[in-house]
Amino acid sequence: MALSDSLPSDSVLRRHAQTERNRILGLPPTDAVLRRHFDQWQTTQAAQQARTAAVPRVATPAKSPAVQPPRPRIPPAPVPMTAPRSAAPSGGGLFGWLRRVLGR
């Protein structure tokens, strides 16, 4: 079915295409839910603009760009040297306990 406005024939895709076309043209959406959200968005935008206009602008002195000296590099803390693990068994566990008890 050929349509004169070249929108999709599927109802969901057609609704999305109409909404996108209206957004590009600056028109409000045709869907009821999207229209309600659009109206809330416009109300919020108008309130923000009114608040911005109501707040008096205070002239702030221009800050001169202060050149900060480079921060000194702090070397990383030295890693303490630990004794290497010995290859000999430590005598821990049940057998180590038995060796110590029996004196072997």
pLDDT in tens, 1-44: 444 578 888 888 888 888 888 888 888 777 788 888 888 888 99
* Structure confidence at residue 64 (pLDDT): 63
34 lies in some domain: yes
Q: Give how far Cα 56 sits from Cα of 8, 52, 63, Å.
A: 51, 8, 20
> Which range, 17-21, 60-64, 84-88, has the best average confidence (pLDDT)?
17-21
Give me the number of domains the chain comprises. 1
Asked if 28 and 18 count as a contact pair (C-beta separation under 8 A), the reply is no
48 lies in some domain: yes
Asked if 19 and 30 count as a contact pair (C-beta separation under 8 A), the reply is yes
Q: Which residues, at least 6 apart from 17, have a Cβ–Cβ distance to it below 8 Å?
A: 7, 8
AA identity, residue 93: G
Of 39-43, 52-56, 94-98, which gets the smallest average pLDDT?
52-56
Q: Identify the domain containing residue 26 by its residue range.
A: 11-53
65 lies in some domain: no
Residue 83 pLDDT > 70, yes or no?
no
Residue length of the chain: 104
Asked if 31 and 17 count as a contact pair (C-beta separation under 8 A), the reply is no
77 lies in some domain: no
What DSSP string runs through 7-34?
--SSHHHHHHHHHHHHHHHTPPPSSHHH
More confident: 32 or 65: 32
Asked if 38 and 28 count as a contact pair (C-beta separation under 8 A), the reply is yes
Confidence at 63, pLDDT banded by 50, 70, 90: low
31 lies in some domain: yes
96 lies in some domain: no
5 lies in some domain: no
Residue 54 pLDDT > 80, yes or no?
no
